[in-house]
Structure 1
């Protein structure tokens, strides 16, 4: 039997010290070529970078460099939902784009952390701060963020000690929407609700479940609807996902269970789009047979002639970014509540046609 051949050793990667020895300069001089180029002449820096490239040296390890500096240049946007929600929901996309544009003015980058089932991404993320988007109240996820003790902004959540908070006046917007329907004579009103707790339930929402709502946005909109139409009978259904298909499916169920419903309050324009599709498939005319109101006032809602509650989504992203930049600069935490306004279009009409 022939002796086993030993594997050749992998060639060691060149280091900063190797480059310095090849050029006959100090390690600090080579380091300056990457980190403090203003300290070197253009000719010397070019010579260092050319030699390093020829030797196969890739440059300083960015993770090690960030650890030495104590800064990563990265901000985490935390969702307690699957990552695709950030792109499927137009309102979330508007918020995300505005937030990214704001922090990039200071050379920072955005990391999206989807944490529907685990807090580990938050516990291990190498970031300078957190922006938490519509997390459930008193959740393990929120607790993990707060435990990191980094600059933190909560979006559409109750204020917590040491954090900034940015939100909209959900209560006022929902109140205006329901009051509009009440003034039109609607007394049997359906509700397509966003998430109530992390555990979705398809059956009609009971008063007890509504009272236990864990998401501030959902809770405030429920509260506003009831405040705006105190004499109405409501028929709330929770949706499993904020998608047009879910809005359509749940509207079909709602109208099958409660045909007396003459108007529907949708907690998002996306759900309202589905409600419009459901009404069309049932042959119920909007607004003559069924009034529908959305929430968000997306750019597409004007085309759909949808009555909706406008919120300044892009401004909300900008404010969240500014609040975090302020904390990183050592400024005090802030609380911002942006206004909402009912925009009346052609999807609502008096009850009974």
Structure 2
């Protein structure tokens, strides 16, 4: 694990509180009281100070939750949690229950964080989980964080990358049904996704990433035995184009083999064609070490790789490992960008 030194300014990371009825407030408090995380970055929470105080009480932790007017006023000290307080949640908001109020608040936290990042006031965004049903109940009909951030930053197309210590996976399609995903996949989208993943790895310090591209069908179609030629029609043209440009791209590969090979280190990145093809193997590796990275934005964004976990919210048992790792990766990428600039 790489620690950032204090010989250079620590990157400022906006930490959005996510759905206040879920475990977001708890994992944020636990992570920001972790001395390791404090060595990565200068975090500023965009959320509700009162809810973070409630979360600290639930956890039995002593946290100095301080409301600040802006990033410049956020002083970094052990035990201190700086919050740009939007004050959107009622004091009696139940833990673990779907709430349109909490869904709207999660939307607003992210909107403010995106504005700060676009202005350059923060160098990265790290998000606690939101609840899609609560978001929709509040009238914000977006599939999730990835699409919301694309909307807030004016970007037409971004990609979701999942990162674990052993494996990185980028997705061609994400929050749509399987039939719709197969229909949406086409060579241009596959090519752009691979390019985004390649660029992200190069920026993170992998100069010549080796990338494996999954097929759609079992055995990647096995030369037309399975499916209707989707690999040849939708994937091969993109792979051939990028290989001709000099990229180290392999595929289409049978997904079961591709993830096995990636897990043992043969590939720096796997390109998954649809949501569960990529998410399943990553989550088997362990949610506590997984990080969600949005690739293609004009700002850096990482996230925990778990949901709001309503079933354990407010019980003081939520683990913060994924949040600490998300902060680390946000800071690492932001520091690389700062050094280039």
TM-score (norm 2): 0.27
